[in-house]
Amino acid sequence: MKFATQIKLYRKLRYRKGFGIHSPFTYNLITKVIEEKAPYYIFDEIEQFRKRLSFRKETQHKNYGALLFRTVHFFKCRTVLQIRAYTGILSLYLSMASRKNCSCYALEENSGLLEAVKKFAGQQRLENLHFMEGNYAENLEKLKAFVSSFDLIFINQLGNPGKTLEALELSHCFIGEKSILIIDGISKSKAMKELWEKIKNYPETRVTIDLFALGIVFFDKKLHNQHYKNYFDYGKKQNLYEKRRRRIHLFGWRRKSFKSESAN
């Protein structure tokens, strides 16, 4: 067994299903959001759209979508900020979790990346999803005029420590007591691990969840200071709806074949 496989197996056994966690808040978060396996039909639609894109570099994010969707849905987030939308796939997950009651602002500095997803969002009538292209600092300044804090902030800088820190500093003024902060790539490098430790030690930080590739931070003063680790299976939690449909189709094919053979 390869060393990397051994590490993954250890994490799966040691940090799973709320093992050793006594906080009701954190236990519910892990069992009902992080470990939840119930699919939503919209996952399949988004993934079918992803397959039509010519961009392939975002496949490493394929399994984040369901977790982001469930987080917005579970905490009933009304305002969501995503810094670095890239092709907008994860923006769809964030916005579709609550179309009527949540406004999602997805920022992207590189122009031209969002044309396909804008068209798809229009077809889906996602009026709550707002893409903002251009300089992050300038767009965040514009948001200050009508948003005081965000319920959820997702910093999606692929584990780049410099850009992650910059995004964190720019969005810090939007972090309120009830905000949820999600950061990508917290274990990608030594610099990112150090940044994650720095975030854990912020005076306003109350609870953190280390998912090894993704970090979640809560600032609610009612929560006791705790830092947890939990294994998140990035490879199996995403396309459950699609897999379920395929399984049903397979059984249907078998029944059809059986009837055909019986008829003969």
Residues 68, 73, 76, 80, CA torsion sign: positive
pLDDT in tens, 20-62: 565 789 888 998 898 887 778 888 889 888 888 865 555 545 5
Q: What is the pLDDT at residue 209?
A: 95
Task: Say whether pLDDT at 118 is over 90.
Answer: yes
pLDDT in tens, 160-219: 999 999 999 999 999 999 999 999 999 999 999 999 999 999 999 999 999 988 999 999
Task: Say whether pLDDT at 139 is over 80.
Answer: yes
Q: What is the pLDDT at residue 242?
A: 46
Q: What is the pLDDT at residue 70?
A: 93
Residues 121, 88: Cα–Cα separation, whole Å = 10
Which amino acid, 24? P
Task: Say whether pLDDT at 245 is over 70.
Answer: no
Within the chain, strands assigned E span 79-83, 103-108, 129-133, 150-155, 175-184, 207-210, 214-218, 226-229
Model pTM?
A: 0.81
Strand-pairing partners, residue 106, are 82, 131
Q: What is the pLDDT at residue 54?
A: 62
Q: What is the pLDDT at residue 18?
A: 44
Task: Say whether pLDDT at 102 is over 50.
Answer: yes
Phi, psi values for residue 126, rounded to 5°: -85, 80
Per the model's pLDDT, the better-predicted residue between 194 and 238 turns out to be 194
Q: What is the pLDDT at residue 1?
A: 54
Q: What is the pLDDT at residue 81?
A: 98
Q: Tell me the Ramachandran region of residue 158: left when phi exceeds 0, alpha when psi lies from -120 to 50, beta otherwise.
A: left
Task: Say whether pLDDT at 83 is over 60.
Answer: yes
Tokens of 65: 């979508």
Residues 230, 11: Cα–Cα separation, whole Å = 8
Distances (CA, A) of 41 to 103, 107, 117, 201, 203: 21, 26, 18, 39, 40
Q: What is the pLDDT at residue 241?
A: 44
Task: Say whether pLDDT at 96 is over 60.
Answer: yes
Residues 223, 218: Cα–Cα separation, whole Å = 8
Q: What is the pLDDT at residue 230?
A: 87
CATH assignment of 3-263, among 3.40.50.300, 3.40.50.150, 3.30.750.24, 1.10.3720.10 = 3.40.50.150
Q: What is the pLDDT at residue 216?
A: 97
Q: What is the pLDDT at residue 158?
A: 87
Residues 109, 152: Cα–Cα separation, whole Å = 20
Q: Which of 140, 156, 148, 147 is nearest to 93 (CA)?
A: 156
Strand-pairing partners, residue 183, are 155, 215
Task: Say whether pLDDT at 4 is over 80.
Answer: no
Task: Say whether pLDDT at 248 is over 90.
Answer: no
Which amino acid, 174? F
Residues of the chain with pLDDT > 90, as a percent, come to 58
Residues 132, 154: Cα–Cα separation, whole Å = 15
Residues 70, 98: Cα–Cα separation, whole Å = 10
Task: Say whether pLDDT at 251 is over 50.
Answer: no
The SS3 call for residue 209 is strand
